[in-house]
Structure 1
Amino acid sequence: MGNTRAWPVLHTVDLDEALGLTERLLSVASWYRSSGCYLDAWARDADVLRRLTEASPGARVEWYGEGRTGWPASVSLAVESFEQARAAMKTWAAITRCYVLWHDLKWPAVPELGLDEEYKYAELQVACNSHDIHCEEWTPEHTVFVHARPGPEDRAAWLAAQVNARVVGPSESGW
């Protein structure tokens, strides 16, 4: 049991740029389970909930509070491909703060840094309209996060360098 550390490797107002970097980072990873990807958003009112579920009829809604009346509601959507994630993310990002998370990845071994292959903590995330992994505060920017084993940023920095990026801020506790 443990939590990841999440290092931001890009802040941008251009969602296509964020998703392009994400696609390049995914090409560095090995898939442990290729269907391990989902979108998640918080619906803080009925209008946002309606718009998210109309845009993605297969989305799962989990309510907080008594009698399905407590806001926010968590809205999640499993996706099977990068193209499906891209399309859904563009739609959801126009509605609210949200994120897409690829989990069940394997980061490659980096022998020169003493890093073995990593799958337990390997995740990749795009937070839309936010600078934090939980999308708690709205910003006009989208943030790409590399999740890895807690410790120094060596793996995150190495992964970012493979796609001509770099770590652009401090890490935060993941999940």
Structure 2
Amino acid sequence: MGNTCAWPVLRTVDLAEALTLAEKLLAVSFWYRPDGCYLSAWAHDDDVLRRLTQAHPGASVELYGEGHTALPASVSLGVSDLGQTSDALRAWADITRCYVLWHDLKWPAVPELGLDEEYKYAELQVACNSHTIYCDEWTAEHTVFVHARPGHDARAAWLAAQVGARVVGPPEEGW
């Protein structure tokens, strides 16, 4: 058991720029399970819930309000390729805060840093309209996060450097 640690490696108002950086980071990784990707958003009112599910009718909805029968709701959608991910994320980012998370991938070994391959804590995330992985605050910017084993600051910096980026803020505890 244990939680990831998430380092922000880009903050931008340009969602295309965030997705391009994510695609470059995915190219650095080794896929473990290509379909290990999903989008997630919270709906706190009926209008947002309606708009999210209309944008992607295949999305699943789980209610978390009183007795699990009322809002807020967690809305999620599995995606399997970058094109589908990009389209879905753009649609949802126009509605509310949301994120896409790629999990079940593997970060490569970095022998010069004494780091073996990493699977358990390897994840990549784009948080739309937020600076946090949980999307609990609204911002005009989108944030790209690399998730890795807690304490592996050097791995996060190394991953960012591989794609011409850098860590742009302190890490936060992941999931």
Query: Normalised by the size of structure 1, how large is the TM-score?
Result: 0.98
Which residue does 1:58 correspond to in 2? 58
For structure 1, the residue ranges without an aligned partner over 5 or more in a row are: none
Corresponding residue of 1:154: 154
Structure-2 residue corresponding to 1:107: 107
1:134 alignment partner in structure 2 = 134
Q: Deviations over 1:105-130 (max 9, x none)?
A: 10000000000000000000000000
Secondary structure of 1:121's aligned partner:
coil
The answer as to whether partners of 2:36 and 2:104 remain within 8 angstroms in 1 is yes
RMSD of Structure 2 on Structure 1 (CA): 0.9
Deviation of 1:16 after TM superposition, in Å, equals 0.3
- Contact kept, 8 Å, 2:55 with 2:91, in 1: the verdict is yes
Q: Which residue does the alignment assign to 2:121?
A: 121
Tell me, yes or no, if the aligned pair for 2:65 and 2:73 is still in contact at 8 Å: no
Aligned ranges for residues 62-73 of structure 1 at < 5 Å? Answer: 62-66=62-66, 69-73=69-73
Q: What is aligned with 1:7?
A: 7
Q: Does residue 1:173 correspond to 2:168, yes or no?
A: no
Cα distance in structure 2, aligned partners of 1:111 and 1:68:
48
The whole-number CA distance in structure 2 between the counterparts of 1:58 and 1:135 is 22
Tell me the distance in 1 between the aligned counterparts of 2:18 and 2:29.
17
Q: Distance in 1 between matches of 2:152 and 2:103?
A: 20
* Superposition deviation, residue 69 in structure 1: 4.2
Structure 1 CA distance for aligned equivalents of residues 133 and 37 of structure 2: 15
Give runs of aligned pairs for residues 57-96 of structure 1, distance below 5 A: 57-66=57-66, 69-96=69-96
Structure 2's unaligned 5+ residue stretches are none
Q: Secondary structure of the equivalent of 2:118?
A: coil
State the 1:72 CA deviation: 1.2
Q: Is the Cα–Cα contact under 8 Å of residues 125 and 144 in structure 2 kept in the other structure?
A: yes
CA distance in 1, matches of 2:70, 2:5: 30
- Asked if 1:22 is matched to 2:22, the reply is yes
TM-score (norm 2): 0.98
Contact kept? 2:9, 2:146, Cα under 8 Å = yes
More moved, 57-66 vs 160-169: 57-66
SS in 1 for 2:99: strand
